[in-house]
A and B are shown apart, each in its own frame.
Chain A
């Protein structure tokens, strides 16, 4: 097949899409528009092994040197797409040039939200890119035993807190919600994950907002003012209050934008234009829900799915079971499925006290999710049950049998 493909964004979804295209026999041109100065690298270590200093940047590339050669990709480095003409599938770049493709893949991901009032203050960090992580890593290394304030107890905030606390810093997490990560994990498991911080001496302030920040005479962050009237000393401030899909460059393109690029069940936004990864919103028919998923595995699967669509291979709608992991302290947290607030939660193996367990979620009728703390195998077991679409009763029965059988 000799059609041409333009991929906008050069991260996980883009790399896996390009690799799957080449492996599937696509021999036309592949052009990748990369806003960053680095070839595609993996983000999860940026809040974990890379941030802690355990790994260096040479561990992060998503494509191996031989793949870079073999795939013959036309990389447009440090180049930002500024517009898309949907009818002709022409992408305008910030240098004024244009690239036209038979197919366009939108893989521009998401970018972190800023905390208002922190612009221009040194020592305030967002965490999304390798450069972000390098900056934070250097600052933490240069300030042993620093007072680190993390705003947001979501996954990024929790991981940064864990990494910083493990390195000996004094860490406080400030979270506006009463329960961390309630939307993704439900109240019970969200509260449980929050409780892991106390095990490691990290101070988690729930139901607390940031009302202001104060810089010192040197222009560096000095303190954070909280909604309960207290003030926290801060040598370093890390903001982890969520991300916004990177779609500003598509304003006015005619594509439907609504917290992401809105696609059909095949991840198609318009004829010949697909979206994949953190930027894509599509109806996942398995769950009967229009979703946008900010997980590593989704970017991989969706990137590959889009490649198969371009190759003419994928005829089924894209209907994965969302799955993610988060490593905090010595714990491996995983969740598969799409539990909803108010779902039943049942621990099926281990216990919270021993910090090793798996719990399943159900809406009374069907199994809706599985949460694991240091129980990867069980999570995958129930992920398969989710794929089978088992009932809640059958899931409980399976758990019962597994318990008595072992």
Chain B
């Protein structure tokens, strides 16, 4: 099922844990901000995205299913 990666930037504190888990999806750059590299990634990245969401200490990452909207 297609999905979207949503980061709540009010919660995110740029500690880059997600980048460690899924560097394809997340990058904390020199400006100390987190960038989502692909917000609707291919399905085979879902597991990594879920692992990143589980590991985010601020619970800032959510995955939304897109199927119902398509």
Residues of A in contact with B (beta carbons under 8 Å apart):
16, 19-20, 23, 42, 44, 64, 296-297, 300-301, 304, 323, 325, 332, 334, 376-377, 379-380, 383-384, 406
Contact = CB atoms under 8 A, between A and B. Distances in A.
B16 A380 contact: yes
A376 B32 contact: yes
Contacts of A304: 51, 54
A380 B28 contact: yes
B26 to A, nearest CB: 11
Contacts of B15: 325, 332, 334, 376-377, 379-380
Contact of A300 (B19, B30, B55, B62): B55
User: Which 7 pairs of residues, A with B, have the shortest CB-CB distance?
Assistant: A380-B16, A376-B15, A377-B28, A376-B14, A377-B32, A16-B54, A296-B57
B47 interface: yes
B17 interface: yes
5 contacts: A64-B62, A323-B17, A377-B28, A379-B15, A383-B20
Contact of A297 (B13, B32, B57): B57
A2 B33 CA distance: 43
Nearest to B46: A23
A380 B19 contact: yes
B24 interface: no
Interface size class of B (residues with CB under 8 A): 10 to 19
A376 B16 contact: yes
- Say what secondary structure dominates the interface of chain A: helix
Given A23-B47, A42-B59, A297 B54 contact: no
Contacts of B13: 325, 332, 376
B19 to A, nearest CB: 7
Contact of B55 (A64, A297, A334): A297
Given A325-B57, A376-B16, A383-B20, 9 more contacts: A20-B54, A23-B50, A64-B62, A325-B15, A334-B15, A376-B32, A377-B15, A380-B28, A406-B30
Nearest to A387: B20
B15 to A, nearest CB: 4
Contacts of A380: 15-17, 19-20, 28
B17 A301 contact: no
Interface string B30-58: 10100000000000000100110011010
Nearest to A301: B55
Nearest to A20: B54
A296 B50 CA distance: 17
Contacts of B51: 304
Contacts of A406: 30
Contacts of A325: 13, 15, 57
Contacts of B50: 23
Q: Which of B14, B15, B32, B50 has the most CB of A within 10 A?
A: B15
A377 B55 contact: no
A325 B50 CA distance: 21
A379 B19 CA distance: 13
A369 to B, nearest CB: 16
A300 B14 contact: no
B24 to A, nearest CB: 16
Q: Which of B19, B30, B54 has the most CB of A within 10 A?
A: B54
Contacts of A379: 15
Nearest to A44: B57
A384 B20 contact: yes
